[in-house]
Homo-oligomer: A and B are copies of this chain.
Amino acid sequence: MVKPSIPKGTRDFSPIEMGRRNYIFDTIRKVFKKHAFLPIETPSMENLSTLMGKYGEEGDRLLFKVLNSGDFKQGVDFDKLNSNQLTSKICEKGLRYDLTVPFARYVVQHQAELAFPFKRFQMQPVWRADRPQKGRYREFYQCDVDVIGSNSLLNEAELMQMTDEIFKAFNIPVTIKVNNRKILSGIAEVVGEAEKLTDICTAIDKLDKIGKDKVCEELLERGLSQQAIDSMEPFFNFSGNNNEKLSQLAQIFASSEIGTKGISEIRQMLAYAAQLGIDADIEIDITLARGLNYYTGAIFEVKAQNVSIGSISGGGRYDDLTGIFGLKNMSGVGISYGAERIYDVLNELNLFPDDINTPIKALFLNFGEQEELYALKGLQVLRNAGIASELYPDKAKIGKQMTYANAKAIPFVIMAGADEMAENVYTLKDMNSGEQQKLKIDDIAKRF
């Protein structure tokens, strides 16, 4: 018999892990709902025609493809095709790679039923055939929130406000880094390399990881002139507070219309944010690019302070996401929260609430046939009061039952034998202090 196992990069979640994960999802969901975002869900499988070509060549490779049912071999000339070509012949469906493309597909498919601006959130697993490593999984959850069909910068500010509320609820101090794609366009323009914008974004996005020198090397490789690269220098060393940064930029962008537009968008967004009373640090970072070509306006990235973990959230504005499915002029803005990263930060900072570790509050011991009926009565009272509790189902040795209570970290054990039954009470034992007390069941219920 082979020892059972699961595919690499996937995970089982134990009750305690589930408690912690649900704490994360519930906290985020509560904020989304208060802000009038509504949930949708899309199928785990999408047609490969929906997914392919949307994530670049690498993304196409990392999609999990689902084999067609039935006699998939029929009519396929295996000899003439390589693995790549074969895939499209024998697989029509693939597992969701992210929540963004399915959302765009959803909006286009259901446009007639939707009221715009459409504010939705979505919390579902996604799958990527990435090489598994610490903190990177082949099945993981994304929590995405988007407004589509509105150009107002109030939406950007609201996303920042929700981010602030979410991480305040978690007690995680964060910095929200902001930028605007139009500022990146402005930089490309003033250094005379407007047509190299994508290359500049891709390279500059790595500044944090590889440093300025390597970024400059990459820019050279990508065909930027040495002169342009030299004139980008000042942007790497931008300092001061947000207002100072914006003033400096305004001077540099005097001749750049798009750069100037970027500045005014950031100013308006920050003015709204100030109005909303956001406590998190907001920091303009003009090198923030997030490597995603579909962003056209604001760009966000959230970092936990005092923890050396990458960004725990990110997003931005896209003017034409649904264009790939034929619906033009539908600007949206969204942000995605990474459940796995947030889990790691909460864990490292020891911020998970204690009571997640004790989902079951009380165990009634089973002393025998008559006693168990009496225990059932008490159990019913606790459960009616909404207290998660149980009766040990078997008439096992008391030592075994106590071991069970300890293994499950149940904080209270309730015992009732002949004496208690005669007095119509129950003995409540605190498993931490060892203290025990005879009480009426209603008084026990009040303890929780």
Which residues of chain A have a CB within 8 Å of any CB of chain B?
1-7, 10-15, 18-19, 22, 33-36, 38-47, 49-50, 61-62, 64-67, 69-74, 78-79, 82-83, 86-87, 90-93, 95, 105-106, 108-110, 113, 115-117, 119-120, 125, 127, 129, 138-139, 147, 150-152, 154-155, 158, 275-277, 325-326, 359-360, 372-373, 376, 380, 383, 386-391, 393-395, 403-404, 407-408
Contacts and interface: CB of A to CB of B under 8 A. Distances in A.
A95 B109 contact: no
B387 A34 contact: yes
A71 to B, nearest CB: 5
Contact of A151 (B47, B67, B383, B394): B394
A15 B394 contact: no
Nearest to A91: B67
Given A3-B326, A6-B109, 6 more contacts: A6-B47, A7-B45, A34-B389, A65-B67, A115-B404, A154-B372
B7 A43 contact: yes
A147 B404 CA distance: 14
B110 A12 contact: yes
Contacts of A388: 33-36
A119 B129 CA distance: 33
Contacts of A3: 109, 326
Contacts of A109: 3-6, 12
A87 B67 CA distance: 8
B34 A13 contact: no
Contacts of A1: 325-326
A387 B35 CA distance: 9
A46 B14 contact: no
B6 A120 contact: no
- Sorted nearest first, the 7 A-B pairs with minimum C-beta distance are A10-B43, A15-B38, A36-B390, A115-B407, A78-B78, A152-B393, A1-B326
6 contacts: A1-B326, A7-B93, A19-B39, A43-B139, A115-B403, A276-B376
Contacts of A78: 73, 78-79
Nearest to A386: B34
A106 B12 contact: yes
Nearest to A87: B67
A44 B120 contact: no
Contacts of A87: 67
Given A67-B91, A78-B78, A393-B117, A43 B11 contact: yes
A174 to B, nearest CB: 20
B275 A373 contact: yes
B154 A6 contact: no
B408 A376 contact: no
Nearest to A22: B39
A45 B87 CA distance: 19
Contact of A83 (B36, B43, B72): B72
Contacts of A22: 39
B34 A14 contact: no
A64 B15 CA distance: 28
Nearest to A405: B115
A82 B92 contact: no
A152 B7 contact: no
B14 A44 contact: no
A398 to B, nearest CB: 15
